[in-house]
Structure 1
Amino acid sequence: MTDRSFRTLESPVTDLGCNIRAARKAQGMSLRELARRADISASALSQIETGKTRASAKTAYEIAQQLGVTLAELSTGVPGQPDATGSSAPGRDHPGPEPDGLAAHLRHAVEFIPHSAQRTVNLHGGESFRVLSGPSLPGANCLLLTYEPGASSPPNDEFVRHAGHEFNYLVSGRLIIEVGTDRHELAPGDTLTFPASTPHRLTNPWHEKAELVSLFLHTLPHNGL
């Protein structure tokens, strides 16, 4: 029997601020310019990059968008550069398969990511996520999100929106997901799918931790897949 004892180890925690700074510098963008594009102050971005404060989900999504990558890609390192596991994060220099070859790629792509290589990112407001998928799944990212008791993402009654679609499956705990003016209370086993461009927020007002598997589809499949 194969020894799977390594799965009990904690996954490595990513310094998201360090990755933001590295990606920004790789693109030759100044701190003030990225802050302007992300609609935050330069001092706030500086504190995020130096690890003095954590970005909220809304800020992290906006920064990733202005850098031209997904949040999951940003968490694994500078796009196009090897991360701590030795694989390259997809980005502008490594866009993945062209549309004509995508179907063939998906038919043959096999990727194993052990727990010890799955990166974890802690965000402001009691939210964290672990990246479950890798570059073998073009146009999509799968995350395991954790919401501590009282967590709200984004905090302060704000809403977040970004490109693509979301499929969510609640593994444990309970969670409230507001999508536009609709309010959904999820229990274990419930799913919720919605266009991520609709303003939404996730809240855990209960005394138990909630875990949510989220599949983010950034591009819709081409015909023939």
Structure 2
Amino acid sequence: MSNSNSQNHASAQSNKLEIAIGREIRAFRKKMDLTISELAKLAGLSAGMLSKIENGNASPSLATLQSLSGALNIPVTAFFRKYEEDRDASFVRAGEGLIIERRGTRAGHQYQLLGHSVGKSISVEPYMITLTEESEVFPLFQHPGMEFLYMLEGKMVYMHGDKSYSLSPGDSLFFDADAPHGPEELRELPIRFLSVIVSPRFSD
């Protein structure tokens, strides 16, 4: 019985989040003077799906939220802003982070978003990144702000700008994320590391 109540509570919380995200998307869309059809086209969605998302009747995937954030030129975390306003902390149990599909990701590369900042001036995005398959070509990332990596498991060579760093468990790397960066060589799988991205939040 308690399990059922727990599931109902989780469902209610999920719906509350969907409604909050939908309201934020609608607010940003209206701020840019876009119709549902116009924004849907920019984000590669159907107008019907976007309407459901805005009304809190559909749960958007993180990939969909990334498409919408790109179309609206805002960070993904902006969609969670109102939902987080009355919350002091983001608590994520082991293995329950939101799975994100980042551009250039492939099988064996998993990004889990572990929370999002509530602050007004900066955006903080902590990710748990797991690499389980060998690959010869890696995507290079480049974005505003700073990034902090902390190795938990495995070994890899990580590139930042024109330098390469050999990382083992316990090693960390803090760098300017404006320069191209990403894994260069996977030396010991599986690889697991924490990545925290800090960047200026777009002003309203």
1:138–1:188 Cα change, 3 Å: farther
Name the structure 2 match of 1:97.
none
Report the TM-score when normalising by structure 2.
0.56
**Which of residues 95, 99, 110 is equivalent to 1:121?**
99
The one-letter code matched in structure 2 to 1:199 is P
Identity across aligned pairs (percent)?
15
Structure 1, residues 153-180: CA drift from partner, whole Å, max 9, x if none?
xx95432211101121112222332222
Distance 2:190 2:146 in 1: 25
**Which of residues 31, 40, 43 is equivalent to 2:40?**
31
**Which of residues 176, 181, 196 is equivalent to 2:157?**
176
| Contact in 2 for aligned 1:178/1:184 (Cα 8 Å) | yes
Distance 2:60 2:134 in 1: 20
| Contact in 1 for aligned 2:129/2:195 (Cα 8 Å) | no
Distance 1:171 1:137 in 2: 30
Distance 1:120 1:52 in 2: 12
Superposition pairs for residues 1-225 of structure 1, below 5 Å? 22=22, 24-28=25-29, 29=34, 30-33=39-42, 35=43, 42=44, 55=63, 60=66, 64=69, 67-71=72-76, 73=77, 78-82=79-83, 87-88=84-85, 111-116=88-93, 119-123=97-101, 124-125=105-106, 126-132=109-115, 134-135=117-118, 139-150=122-133, 157-202=138-183, 205=186, 208-219=189-200
The root-mean-square deviation of aligned C-alpha atoms, in Å, is 4.5
SS in 2 for 1:27: helix
Q: Which runs of 5+ in 1 are unaligned?
A: 1-13, 36-41, 90-109, 220-225
Higher-strand-fraction structure: 2
Q: Which runs of 5+ in 2 are unaligned?
A: 1-13
Distance 2:152 2:144 in 1: 24
Distance 1:81 1:151 in 2: 40
Aligned residues: 161
The one-letter code matched in structure 1 to 2:92 is H
| Contact in 1 for aligned 2:154/2:191 (Cα 8 Å) | yes
Kindly state the Cα deviation for residue 207 of structure 1 after the two structures are TM-superposed.
Answer: 6.0
| Contact in 2 for aligned 1:160/1:201 (Cα 8 Å) | yes
Greater gyration radius: 2
Higher-helix-fraction structure: 2
| Contact in 1 for aligned 2:92/2:114 (Cα 8 Å) | no
1:179–1:139 Cα change, 3 Å: same
The one-letter code matched in structure 2 to 1:161 is Q
| Contact in 2 for aligned 1:69/1:79 (Cα 8 Å) | no
